[in-house]
Amino acid sequence: MTRDQVGEELPNLAESKLTALVVDDSFVNQTIHQKLLNRLGIKNDVVTNGKEAVDVYCSGGNYDLILMDMDMPIMNGIQATKRLREMGIESKIAGVTTRANEGEKKEFMEAGLNDFQEKPLTISKLLSILHKLNFYVQT
């Protein structure tokens, strides 16, 4: 476990060798999401839209977890999720978006998500994703 600045113990998942891909066109969100993953010991990369995420997988890349934004230029999160599932990609995909009305959430989930969290992401929301997707068991 590691301690963050306020003394809360955070799990260190470095030993589990989890990897994650951040898919978001916002530099602000990229920076925050990468920092959250780093704090939990999860190695990660970042791309700026859905097409780049698909290209990474087409080039042989693979990640345990994808944090997928919804609104992105060129290829959005819904299109990218559908495409990845069509390709047979079984990585866990968590949609993270500020769009939270039921219709938009349903459309995103139906594209092939394993989980959904409303932005902004926090440590506790990320832990919730990891717990739901069985990457982390609270002790």
The binding site for another protein (CB under 8 A) comprises 4-6, 8, 26-29, 31-32, 35-36, 39, 71, 98, 119-120, 122-123
Shorter beta-carbon distance to another protein: residue 62 or 122: 122
Shorter beta-carbon distance to another protein: residue 36 or 66: 36
Shorter beta-carbon distance to another protein: residue 57 or 116: 116
Q: How far is the CB of 76 from another protein (least distance, A)?
A: 12
Kindly compute the dihedral angle of the four CA atoms of residues 106, 68, 75, 102, in this order, to the nearest 10 degrees: 20
Shorter beta-carbon distance to another protein: residue 36 or 93: 36
CB of 47 closer than 8 Å to CB of 23: yes
Shorter beta-carbon distance to another protein: residue 40 or 65: 40
Q: How far is the CB of 53 from another protein (least distance, A)?
A: 18
CA–CA separation, 69 vs 52, rounded Å?
13
CA–CA separation, 85 vs 87, rounded Å?
5
CB of 42 closer than 8 Å to CB of 17: no
Q: Which residue, among 84, 59, 57, 86, has the nearest Cα to 95 in the 3D structure?
A: 84
Q: How far is the CB of 80 from another protein (least distance, A)?
A: 18
Q: How far is the CB of 77 from another protein (least distance, A)?
A: 13
Q: How far is the CB of 118 from another protein (least distance, A)?
A: 10
